[in-house]
Amino acid sequence: MELRQLRYFVEVFDRGSLSAAAKALLISQPALTRQVQQLERECGVTLFDRVPAGIVPTPAGTALYQHVLTLLRYADTAKDAAREAGPVREIVQIGLAPGLPPTWLGQIIDTVRVAVPQAYLSLTDATSTVQLQQLRAGRLDIAFVHEPPSGDLVRHRVLEEPFGFVVDPRIEGEFTGDICPLSALDGMDVLAHARDQVPIGHDRLVSAAHEAGIRPRWHFANYTENARACLHATGASGAILSRTTAGRLLPGWVWRRLVDPPITMQTWIVRQPVARGTVTAVADTIAGSFGID
């Protein structure tokens, strides 16, 4: 079993197509097919099932994929480790949902660097839904998500931030103090994140308004950077955001914490129940230092 074969296997797995993988690898499809078949013979199992639309991995192929990713990560860092004449640092792939406070993330990175020096943290921005998909596919080791994951995953709640109403400066005079009762939004055009971005916060917000008989004109949008454009497009006067996100996306606008009732955005870290020792150490360090459950 050669590293080249394993890299070919990963490319086929990721693309779901022998022809697309062969094109990306700059080899012929028959040559790639032979390499995959040889790997299947060496493993003694079928790694892919052929279907009309391409190929799909078998359970054995999925299990091998997760191990191969780890092996290739070691291989990719081996030269650097030799040049640095130090121990191999193990890559830990971590997903980050939008809206996490930068200072808080910086504290997590500093804490992990001290507690788990063998870990090399590789960070990727993605929505909660995409992260959970990548975690199950073995492409992420740890996910920071804004939705409660299913019970088959190891999870710890690590952050809870209040939502607030960030107000267009042109109507800022209509609000006083540093809080905003939910009832103040009655009849207003209000922008809020779509449900797949912040499911818990979305559901609590809509339910609380409905139960209190408050009827904002909701405008739901899926965005991570273009809040101002979404506000402009919908004609909304303000948006429901965390303070961190409001300061980043709408600088100069006035943020007031929602009360009566308060609505929060919660963040969990999630990993697979069976994980590499370094991944477990990183997740445990974060949960132990920042967990609120």
Which tokens hold the place of 265?
């955005």
Nearest CA-CA partner of 29 in 15, 41, 18:
18
Which tokens hold the place of 163?
């939502």
The answer to whether residues 261 and 162 touch, using CB atoms and an 8 Å cutoff, is no
Note the pLDDT of residue 72: 78
pTM of the model: 0.64
Note the pLDDT of residue 88: 66
Note the pLDDT of residue 167: 85
Note the pLDDT of residue 81: 60
Could you tell me which residues are beta bridge partners of residue 165? 240, 256
Could you tell me which residues are beta bridge partners of residue 123? 94
Note the pLDDT of residue 80: 67
| Predicted confidence (pLDDT) per residue in 83-123, tens digit | 655 556 899 999 998 889 999 999 999 999 999 999 999 99
Low-confidence residues of the chain: pLDDT under 50: none
